[in-house]
Structure 1
């Protein structure tokens, strides 16, 4: 491009010099105008060439620049796309984790709702059970029966249910003990005031219901002592069992007024929570089994003596049989050896004679053939 400007300057300079020379040679103005016009045309042509060259150079530079920018832009876009994809993948993973956690939370909520509904139903049923004395008794009986099944006690063998005593009354359970002794148990328990105590939020009402509940327990103890559940002349022990159907209720009584338990013991009534009852019945079961074993001990010893006598006779008979077998074996050996040998000797002689006769006949036959 610099070269073009140099050429243009030279052309202009030559044109000016040519015009001056023509003027010195007394040329007319028409020649000068012609030269000017020719120079103008030449300049225009050169300008067009310069513009064209500049335009091409510009477009080339612009294209190179555009290509560079395009490549850089593509690289940037690719990097941004990669970064966006990575962010999207990470976000997808987080969304999946949130979705899984949400599903699990929903499942847990559904399970909790189901358990809450079941608990509500159970609570309603429990309230219905506790609403009447008869149903409370049935509930207590079910608790005792579960304990009896775990221990292994059998109805009719180890205990009776609702059996009639001599006075005509019916204890809920009667347990059989060694030496034809028995112990009775009552499973009904006053829970109405305790339930109101639990349900109330008013402190005054709670205190009132608590006192009423403890009074009910004492009254129930007295009522049991008035029955003929304790009657040593009829074979009962000097105590009766009274079921407290829940460990928390037993703990509540012991915590709020331990004198109630002492009062029951003074009246020969044993308050039994489910765990306490399990321990007592387990001891009764074990004691009954031990006593039964002791009762059978003499019989077992007699059987052992009889067995020992019969065993001695068996050993003696087997010894005799062994001796007889030994004698028979000796006789058999004698028959096999001595008698067999004695019988075999004549047979051997017979075989010798037979062989001798055959040999003689053979010799005679050979001699006859030789004479021929």
Structure 2
């Protein structure tokens, strides 16, 4: 067991003092052994010496216990030091995190202010009738373009239509295959709907919210009746008797139909098709597919016309070739007749002239293969079959 230097010095001093005291007591006892007083003092000194020795032993034991306690507390002290270091580091990190949090809160505050400004601008725009109209027309054109339709080919915007003595201007005209046309008008009834959307989700406000949504449904129905009075289909003979009314958000149509379940049926009876972005996109994709099918049909018709023209021209060529063969046959026949006349009549008389050599008077006759003209045997190239193909 190791003692601390201070405790060791104290112990040595006490032991030295005890030794000196014991030596002194022993000397005094020897010098005054005859005196009872000296004996009493000696006894007292011995008692004091015993007490000092006990105290010294107690100090030694306490010092030993303190040393053991210090050794036992040493790991705890190390851990406390580590914990103190970590706490200091955590405090530094917390200060840094607090600074970053303050910066983020400041950025969030700025973003909230910008969002508030944008929201206010958007609200102002939505409360303006002209801005609503521009938004609805832009959304309509975006959906038509997304359906794969081309401007001035499959649709036109802001085209005037003669309506009695006045001219009406629907937002868009959709062209169908076969010279069909469908008018599309964008409507944005938002006043009552926005007021209903502003109400908090409180049961006490349900009545007011229902009243505003009913007012919104009435506004949508009013637009339906207005479009029905315009009667755009009457200006496009041969076209479907329908006018498309476009609402630029799904909720505008769904809330109106929820408040007035018979709205869609009434609009259909009046020739008005109520559409939202999803339903209009599906409708326009069907029209685009019809255009593609129509184009394929037109191309097939063009190919059929070209085929008929080709067959007719092949028939004409076969007729010309037949005429050529006929003339060739007549030419060969005339040639052979000329050879026969030459051999049977001219050569008989010419041989009477002995001065003429016989070899120069021989004219070779055409062989049967050389004089044979091949006739057309394929039925597709004969005159009757060609006429039938042309008729088909």
TM interval, shorter chain, is 0.5 to 0.7
How many angstroms apart in 2 are the aligned matches of 1:131 and 1:183? 30
What is the match of residue 161 of structure 1? 157
**What CA distance in whole angstroms lies between the structure 1 residues aligned with 2:233 and 2:259?**
28
Residues 182 and 239, structure 2, Cα contact 8 Å, conserved in 1: yes
- Structure 1, unpaired ranges of 5+: 17-35, 311-372
Distance 1:181 1:104, change over 3 A: farther
Quick one: which of 215, 218, 233 aligns to 1:215? 218
**Is residue 2:121 matched to residue 1:125?**
yes
Distance 1:236 1:170, change over 3 A: farther
**1:193 alignment counterpart:** 192
Question: TM-score under structure 2 normalisation?
Answer: 0.57
Instruction: State the structure with more CA Rg.
Output: 1
- CA shift, 1:122, in A, is 4.5
User: Equivalent residue for 2:247?
Assistant: 244
* TM-score for both structures, normalised by structure 1: 0.60
Question: Residue 80 of structure 1 aligns with which residue?
Answer: 76
CA offset digits 1:223-260 (Å, max 9, x no partner): 11122422264454210110122111211122111111
Mapped partners of 2:101, 2:308: distance in 1: 74
RMSD across aligned positions (CA): 4.7
Structure 1 residues 231 and 111: alpha-carbon distance in aligned structure 2, compared to 1, 3 A threshold: farther
CA distance in 1, matches of 2:257, 2:77: 75
Are 1:142 and 2:141 an aligned pair?
Answer: no
**CA–CA distance in structure 2, aligned partners of residues 175 and 255 of structure 1:** 29
Bigger Cα displacement from structure 2, 222-231 vs 269-278: 222-231
SS of corresponding position for 2:178: helix
**CA pair 302-234 structure 1, distance change in 2 beyond 3 A:** closer
Separation (CA, whole Å) in 1 of partners of 2:282 and 2:67: 89
> Which of 282, 286, 306 does residue 283 from structure 1 map onto?
286
Shift of residue 290, structure 1, vs aligned partner:
1.0
User: In the TM superposition, what is the alpha-carbon distance from 1:153 to its structure 2 partner?
Assistant: 2.0
Deviations 1:29-71 (A, max 9, x none): xxxxxxx5xx988998x89997998799679646744652452
What is the aligned length?
285
Q: Mapping of 1:1-372 within 5 angstroms? A: 61=57, 64-65=60-61, 67-85=63-81, 87-88=83-84, 117=113, 120-167=116-163, 168-200=167-199, 202-203=205-206, 205-231=208-234, 233-301=236-304
| Structure 2 segments unaligned to the other structure (5+ residues) | 1-17, 315-392
1:184–1:61 Cα change, 3 Å:
same
Deviation at 1:166, TM superposition (A): 3.4
Q: Distance in 2 between matches of 1:266 and 1:255?
A: 19
Tell me the residue number matched to 2:14: none
Indicate the structure with greater helix content: 1
